[in-house]
Chain A
Amino acid sequence: QQQVKQSPQSLIVQKGGISIINCAYENTAFDYFPWYQQFPGKGPALLIAIRPDVSEKKEGRFTISFNKSAKQFSLHIMDSQPGDSATYFCAARKTPGGYQKVTFGTGTKLQVIP
């Protein structure tokens, strides 16, 4: 029940296209859903996060869509650029009562080709 399932495992998108990465969770107690971006040889960087009281959050070209009833959330990268080529991890955790451990997805390796 603690798993976060992420798909696809890898993704190739043409420059200018839309990259979509999907995640699904089981634990309804999760109430904070961050996305991390990791470039080769670097640590994961917090990209964008959402709480389940909103269905969408947008920051620049990055948008999280959240479907509470389906227990799914997704990352959309609009106008994808070669510089977006990285591995993306979704994550989930509970926040009430102080910090709770975060559960990470398995990662999606995105390659944006010119």
Chain B
Amino acid sequence: SAVISQKPSRDICQRGTSLTIQCQVDSQVTMMFWYRQQPGQSLTLIATANQGSEATYESGFVIDKFPISRPNLTFSTLTVSNMSPEDSSIYLCSVVKQGPEVGEQYFGPGTRLTVT
């Protein structure tokens, strides 16, 4: 498995401000992702964090709103910019470790963001 930590675990922010969420993995991983999960809902992929290059964003998510960095194989950050109450959600870091057959995907504990 993979041990994933996220900082902060939760935050309350004012609209118009930005928050950077950090994700640290205990070992080198092939792929890192950022997901959003609204209360009582399923998981929505925001983007794939690529080491040394720009992240790959899913439809409906843009770099200006969710800039992502991945400077090495164990660390990534997601920034939620110019926040509005609609950004209140749980943000999850996820990684894939290559196994003998298929890469298993693991999730961090999440960052619970409330925008007032």
- Which residues of chain B in 50-108 are interfacial with respect to chain A, using CB atoms and an 8 Å cutoff? 92, 96, 101-108
If A43-B92, A99-B30 touch, whether A104 touches B106 (CB-CB below 8 Å) is no
Question: For B31, B102, B104, which residue has the most chain A Cβ atoms within 10 angstroms?
Answer: B102
A21-29, A44-52, A65-73 - the one binding chain B: A44-52
Q: How many A-B residue pairs have CB under 8 A?
A: 45
Interface of B is mostly: loop
**Which bucket holds chain B's interface residue count?**
20 to 34
The answer to whether B43 touches A42, judged by C-beta atoms less than 8 angstroms apart, is no
| Chain A 40-82: CB-based contact to B (< 8 A → 1; otherwise 0) | 0111111001010000000000000000000000000000000
The answer to whether B110 touches A104, judged by C-beta atoms less than 8 angstroms apart, is no
| Inter-chain contacts of B106 with A (CB < 8 A) | 45-46
**Which bucket holds chain A's interface residue count?**
20 to 34
| Chain B 20-35: CB-based contact to A (< 8 A → 1; otherwise 0) | 0000000000110000
Task: List 10 contacting pairs A-B, 8 Å CB cutoff, sorted by A.
Answer: A41-B110, A43-B107, A46-B104, A46-B106, A95-B103, A99-B103, A105-B42, A107-B40, A107-B41, A107-B42
